[in-house]
Amino acid sequence: MSRIGNKPIEIPAGVTVDVAPGRVTVNGPKGELTQELSRDMEIKVDDGVLTVARPTDRGEHRALHGLTRSLIANMVEGVTNGFEKRLQIQGVGYRAKAQGKALELSLGFSHPVNVKAPEGIDFEVPQPTEIIVRGIDKQLVGETAAQIRRHRPPEPYKGKGVRYADEQVRRKVGKRA
């Protein structure tokens, strides 16, 4: 087995990792995550350190090696600290309001847009123009934030719409006389 380029994953106290053929389950203080992984990769847990090894140096095994290691590292990070994405709303009259596990968005349409939180996702609205999406599954947090942004992406002329907090919107000049 080759270990070239493999960084071992430190497993913090309070987190347990169960490895079965083709499946990894990570349990922690914030919850439990399970992921189906390639059976080609060899995953070992020794003394609080998890290592992933690949059978050959072929291109597909090298790619699967990095993917497997990243997925497991994100699972460990998620059950210990969790993930969050911050969204900002810009535009006159554009705002968000939390309603239980759902989100009501006023984005300039003739009707409010309602977004239900998937299982494992929480919305927080500290200000009417700011949305925080939290959860333990990194992929689900990003997907939910992208779905909210998709309702009204930022437009290039006035910059109105829903954007990520760290997103830079390139502005266009517009018509000139």
- End-to-end alpha-carbon separation of the chain, Å? 68
Angle made by CA atoms 170, 175, 177, in degrees to the nearest 5: 145
Q: What is the pLDDT of residue 33?
A: 95
Does 156 have pLDDT greater than 70? yes
Say if residue 50 is exposed, middle or buried (CB neighbours under 10 Å; 0-12, 13-18, 19+): buried
Tokens of 48: 């609080």
Give the separation between CA 41 and CA 167, rounded to whole angstroms.
36
pLDDT exceeds 60 at position 99: yes
Q: Using one digit for the tens of pLDDT, what is the confidence trace for 19-38?
A: 998 899 999 999 999 999 99
- Rounded to an integer, the average pLDDT of 46-64 is 91
Produce one character per residue of 73-102: b if its CB has 16 or more CB atoms within 10 Å, e if not.
bbbbbbbbebbebbbbbebeebbbebeeee
In angstroms, the CA 94 to CA 152 distance is: 10
pLDDT level of residue 125 (50, 70, 90 thresholds): very high
Question: Which pLDDT does position 3 carry in this prediction?
Answer: 47
pLDDT score recorded for residue 174? 85
What is the value of pTM for the model shown? Answer: 0.88
Mean per-residue pLDDT, 10-25: 92
Q: Is the pLDDT of residue 79 over 70?
A: yes
